[in-house]
Amino acid sequence: METGKIGKYFKYAIGEIVLVVIGILIALSINNWNENKKAKEKEVKLLIELKDDLQETKTDLITDIEKAQNILATTNTIYKAIIEDQISEITPFKLSTNYLLDTAKLFPKLSAYEAIQSEGITIITNDNLRKKITNFYQLQLKRVTDAEEYLEDLNNQVFKPYLNTSSSYGNTCKDCKDLFALYNNNQDTQLNLYLIDHFDDKLVHILKEKFNVYRTLNQRYIELSQVIEEIIVLIDQETN
């Protein structure tokens, strides 16, 4: 103060404060950049895992689509046999037990999606991709599950009891002396049969209902397969 240098030291102090603030801002920017980099790396890792899961799910879907179409074809064949009056005690309709046992059921792989949920779905930064993933797992998969559960109940609670009381059971294995031979996996899939030698309106109703729901389920399977392809394309764009 005595030498009149207050202004000089004041400017010096202001300069020091500005440098400190700039240093803090730079440090925060570097920290934010590092955090964003880590978040992006985690997002990419989860998306790659999700892509692998979706590809496995699609493989299962292809099998289920084939099963659904086979069941639709068999159901239609039974219905036509009834309409064309081809079923009688002399010529019973031979229905494989696999028609009830080998039903279409999707087993989606969910590990990557569950990991994304635990991190928070907002870790997916692409809005369109995030929406498609959410719709796939929370809406479209659930619609498929609902249809599958309905068909399972129809089979176990309605169709199978009907066949057990209204048809006879047979097989084409004349030389089978025990159950190991009867259920040999190398045998023809038509080995164990329901023999339908008469029918009524209840059977016709069951067949119509089963066909209609399986047709809906098959369409949902196909839509799921298409959505999986769309999601995979978006994932490739993000991870590349």
Q: How many CB atoms lie within 10 A of CB 200?
A: 10
**Position 187 pLDDT exceeds 60:** no
175 within domain boundaries: yes
What is the C-alpha to C-alpha distance for residues 166 and 26, in angstroms, rounded to an integer? 81
> Is 1 part of a structural domain of the chain?
no
In this prediction, residue 119 carries a pLDDT of 92
- Paired with 95 in beta bridges are 194
The verdict on residue 174 lying in a domain is yes
Residue 201 lies in domain: 6-239
- Please report whether residue 167 resides in a domain: yes
Using only the alpha carbons of the chain, give its radius of gyration: 32
Question: What share of the chain has pLDDT > 90, as a percent?
Answer: 68
Angle at 177 between CA 176 and CA 183, to 5 degrees: 50
Weakest mean pLDDT among 8-17, 109-118, 124-133:
8-17
Contact 142, 171 (CB under 8 A): no
Decide if pLDDT at 198 tops 80.
yes
Q: Which residues pair with 192 in a beta bridge?
A: 171
- Round to whole Å and give the CA distance between 176 and 115: 51
* Its pTM surpasses 0.95: no
Specify if 11 maps to a domain: yes
CA atoms within 13 A on the CB side of 170: 11
Dist CA 122 CA 88 (whole Å): 62
Domain-located, residue 23:
yes
Instruction: Report helix angle 201-239 to 141-153, nearest 10.
Output: 160
Please state the domain count of the chain: 1
Task: Write out the H or E segment, with its range, that includes residue 164.
Answer: helix 160-166
What is the CA 134 to chain-centroid distance, rounded?
13
Please tell me which residue, 97 or 71, carries the higher pLDDT value.
Answer: 71
pLDDT digits (tens, 9 = 90+) for 117-164: 999 999 999 999 999 999 999 999 999 999 999 999 999 999 999 999
Confidence of residue 16 (pLDDT cuts 50, 70, 90): confident
Residue 4 has pLDDT above 70, yes or no: no
